[in-house]
Amino acid sequence: MQVSVEINNDINCQMTVDVPKARIDEAVQERLKELAKKTRINGFRPGKVPVSVVKQRYGAQVRQEVMGEITQESFQDALEQESLRPANAPSIEFLDEENEEKISYRAEFELYPQLELKIDGMSIKQQSADVSDSDIDEMIEKLKKQRTEWQAVDRAAANEDQVIIDFVGTLADESEPFEGGTAEDFELVLGSKRLIDGFEDGIIGAKADDKVELDLTFPENYQAEQLAGKAVRFSVTIKSVNEAVLPEVDAEFIQAFGVESGDMDDFRTDVKENMTRELSQALKQKRKQGTLDALVANNDVSLPESLVESEAQRMAQDMESKFSAQGIDVASMNLSAEGFKDQASERVKLGLLLSEVISKNEMEADGERVEEAIGELAATYEDPSAVVEWVHNSPEQMQAIQSNVLEEQVVDWLLEQDGVSVETEAVSFNDIMGQQHGEGAV
């Protein structure tokens, strides 16, 4: 077997393979002999059918099967011979098909790039934070709001009040309500920004039994394309105005959060422990993300287009499944793979760089860290032992945790390297957790 290889731009490979036709002919003859022992043809006893008869009837089919098998085998042999790592399935074209001495084909495919990992010059920014007494105070206020009760009042609606409303939305150029634009007994907290700009502001000052007409415009980037940028009139009926009644932080309130003593000091200690655990996880995630972002920014990588396209397609499908599970109509959202290509490129690049670090350092997920990660996950549930058992019995969950631990080990390795600069900024608990939950996003 003869092999010639041409590589362009580090990843585009064109490989020509010559296979002696005698190899094909011998394989075909052997296959026909085996077939003759099993084939039943009228006029011949079982196992006594002449090979020439079998060839006449099945020769073309057998040769096609053998050609496919030997092409696949020779392709794999050629990859091993030339030490090539294909990133996608090859496109095969047969050449010089009249040649009586050999079978030739050209295989075109992309290669995984040869990486030269660049660590020097990496600049990583990290953050640190602690849980303060004022942070605990704010958290207790949030816990109180989670148990808000609403009491009807006979006054005009104000910001942070809850209103119960019916509404009908009609586009400016239509007479019938648009799909999804009608609701009854809709509970809305004013200032929550659940609805489009102007809707909640237009209700402030209204009382129970009032009717309000709101002339608004959907945002240009509204997720339902058929409504984006359209003028709309909402006819709103105010059925009730309710003000918030917050609970007292007494023993009963405290015990509802699992602090059996009902003591305020014990409650604050428990709240702080939970906040500290969440903060630690958030800081760890930011540390990891910042380090991996720096790794990507510091390295130039030629990306196989096939890997990017595959990742973009997977991302589009995942997003579509997520929206569908939430009951959102995705038909009008144009979730094509093309829209995910930039993000997919970054993911593929990061994946290649991670693989290079892991391979170069012969890394494996540390067993103790895996168990620690499982314990941290389990601690957020009511029955931690059941969660630990579930993870250990779920290969998919174990693999996900091991992969995450391995990435953290890569981060640790990168932070220890000479030539990597690390700058740590002290920030508040809210700065970290607000970023973690997407608060303050425009």
User: What is the per-residue pLDDT across 31-80, written as a single tens digit (0 to 9) for each?
Assistant: 888 888 888 887 787 777 888 888 888 889 998 999 999 999 999 999 99
> Any bridge partners for residue 106, and if so which?
16, 93
d(CA 274, CA 263): 17
Query: Which pLDDT belongs to residue 437?
Result: 47
For the chain, helix (H) and strand (E) counts, in that order, are 12, 11
d(CA 183, CA 179): 11
Query: Which pLDDT belongs to residue 435?
Result: 59
Instruction: Spell out the residues 6+ positions from residue 405 whose beta carbon is closer than 8 angstroms to its own.
Output: 365, 366, 369, 370, 373
Q: What's the average model confidence in pLDDT over 203-216? A: 96
**The domain 2-110: what is its CATH number?**
3.30.70.1050
d(CA 315, CA 343): 9
- State which amino acid sits at residue 1: M
pTM, entire model? 0.72
Burial 160-183 (b: 16+ CB within 10 A, else e): ebbbbbebbbbbeeeeebbeebee
% of the chain with per-residue pLDDT over 70:
98
CATH class of the region 123-132+252-436: mainly alpha
Chain segment 83-133, per-residue pLDDT in tens: 999 999 999 999 988 888 999 999 999 999 989 999 999 999 999 999 999
- State which amino acid sits at residue 268: R
Averaging pLDDT over each range in 33-37, 147-151, 378-382, 437-441, which range is the top one? 147-151
The continuous run of DSSP H or E covering 323 comes out as helix 305-325
Domain regions of the chain by residue span:
2-110, 123-132+252-436, 148-245
d(CA 71, CA 94): 10
Residue 244 near residue 152 (C-beta atoms within 8 A): no
Q: Give yes or no for residue 439 having a pLDDT over 70.
A: no
d(CA 197, CA 357): 48
CATH architecture of 148-245: Roll (3.10)
Confidence of residue 337 (pLDDT cuts 50, 70, 90): confident
